[in-house]
Amino acid sequence: MKKYKRTTLAATFKYLSVASMITAAASGRTQSLDQRSSTEAIGERFQDFLVRVNGTASATTKKRIVQEYVSKVTTYGRAVVEDSVVYFLFQGKAKRVAVPSDLNGWDPAADSMRKMPGTDLFYLATTVDRDARFEYKLVVDSTWILDPFNKQQAFGGYGPNSEVWMPGYVPPKEIEFRKNILHGSIDTLSVKSMLLGRTHFVFVYRPPGYETSRQQLPSIYVTDGGEYLSLALMNNVLDNLIAEKRIRPVIGIFVDPRTDIRDAQTSMRMHDYALSDTFVNFLITELRPLLSKRYRLLEDATNTAIMGASLGGLIATYAAATRPDVFGLCAAQSPSYWWKDEAVIKLLADSRKMPIKFYIDTGTIRDAQEHARKMKKVLEEKGYDFSYGEYPESHNWVNWRSRLGDILVYFWGKK
């Protein structure tokens, strides 16, 4: 195996550009949102507005009422939410307007809006859990668009979606970039694997003060590493929890599945994360020895974690279950435990209890709840030490990043 390249100012500027691209989101994703309720901002409940529109026969008056209401909604810049009901709106010429979302499995044939008689305003009322957060788009005839009335957006692997925070939803503070604290640094490595037969980026987070300390530190291997940095803002979470002394300093090892970080089509996650022993061996026999020479890693399994989301959660669980001598801590977010006829669930069920501490979370909106619960039952029956959580969100990065603080504190929280 060839040695990896470490970024330097002189030699590999393209890798520095990659690191900048990956972490640019850390300081630029905070949205300035109107904290008032929609009723406070608009000055009227939607049903009262609807009664006013339907109560007049004058086309001119209807147009005026609609335009006044729409102007207030536009200024508010968020979805109209009243108690547990979301009102989706669209104004314009269209034969059909629908709302594909987390709630309906992104089905463009579901949840069509109604058009207010005598107006160009379409609307749809949907009841949602008061603690939920979800994402959606509009389909106007055959065109997918972001909601023009809603400035609030969530960013995922396929770009931005419009987003709704229900009244009981509490956004995580740990993801925010804070200027007034010390920040860790990120090394960008290009690692060529003989086992995989290709080269991948690995981003290594070094906590603040690492350079001036001789202390060995725990580590966490993170699958889908680039997205856990750019979309889940995990470096912010590490910085903030360390600054608050809620966790001990940790080295983050972000392993990216793409051979070209700028091209999603080069991702090998569908191969590597599908219970691949070759990928697990790459982590343990190729990557880990190189990192151990370069960084001060605690080598014992009780200080070595692996984590991931979806298929990344599947391979993280598989890696821990097959090599508990290496990975004694495992976190799986919305894990794809259904894969290969629930093979990983059966593996844990049919094995003796191993020295692994597990963390599992899942959304409850069309997410991995069914199979996560099956794994939870197995862990309970085997007597594992584990944390389990369900949240009214869906299968996406904003959900997963909201739990990063819980994962890190569970593994390395200061008591």
Q: What is the pLDDT of residue 158?
A: 83
Look at residues 290, 254, 299 and name the one whose alpha carbon lies nearest to residue 1.
Answer: 290
Note the pLDDT tens digit of each residue in 321-366.
999 999 999 999 999 999 999 999 999 999 999 999 999 999 999 9
Whether 31 has a pLDDT exceeding 60, the answer reads no
In the prediction, which pLDDT does 27 show? 44
Closest CA to 330 of 344, 350, 310, 316: 316
Arithmetic mean of pLDDT, 362-385? 98
- Count of Cβ atoms closer than 10 Å to residue 142 Cβ: 8
> If you ran DSSP here, which 8-state letter would residue 286 be given?
I
Mean pLDDT over residues 47-54, rounded? 94
Q: Is the pLDDT of residue 150 over 60?
A: yes
Q: Which of 70, 88, 71 is nearest to 79 (CA)?
A: 88
- Cα–Cα distances (Å) from 387 to 5, 183, 356, 357, 403, in that order, read 37, 28, 12, 8, 12
CB burial readout 92-103, b (16+ within 10 A) else e: eebeebbbbbbb
- DSSP code of residue 212: G
Q: Does the pLDDT of residue 32 top 80, yes or no?
A: no
pTM, full prediction: 0.90
**Cα separation of 233 and 397, whole Å?**
10
What Å distances lie between residue 36 and 81, 194, 390, CA to CA?
Answer: 11, 56, 28
Residue 392 has pLDDT above 50, yes or no: yes
How confident is the model over 108-112, as a mean pLDDT?
95
Give the strands of the sheet with 5-6, arranged side by side: 5-6, 185-193, 198-206, 251-255, 219-222, 304-309, 329-333, 357-363, 385-391
% of residues, the chain, pLDDT over 70:
92
Separation between Cα atoms, residue 117 and residue 52, nearest integer Å: 12
> How far is C-alpha 394 from the geometric centre of its chain's CA atoms?
10
pLDDT given at position 180: 96
- For the beta sheet containing 143-145, the strands, ordered from the edge strand earlier in sequence to the opposite edge, are 97-98, 138-140, 143-145
Residue 13 has pLDDT above 70, yes or no: no
Q: What would the mean pLDDT of 151-157 be, rounded to a whole number?
A: 91
Query: In the prediction, which pLDDT does 16 show?
Result: 40
Q: Which residues contact 403 (CB under 8 A, 6 or more apart)?
A: 333, 361, 389, 391
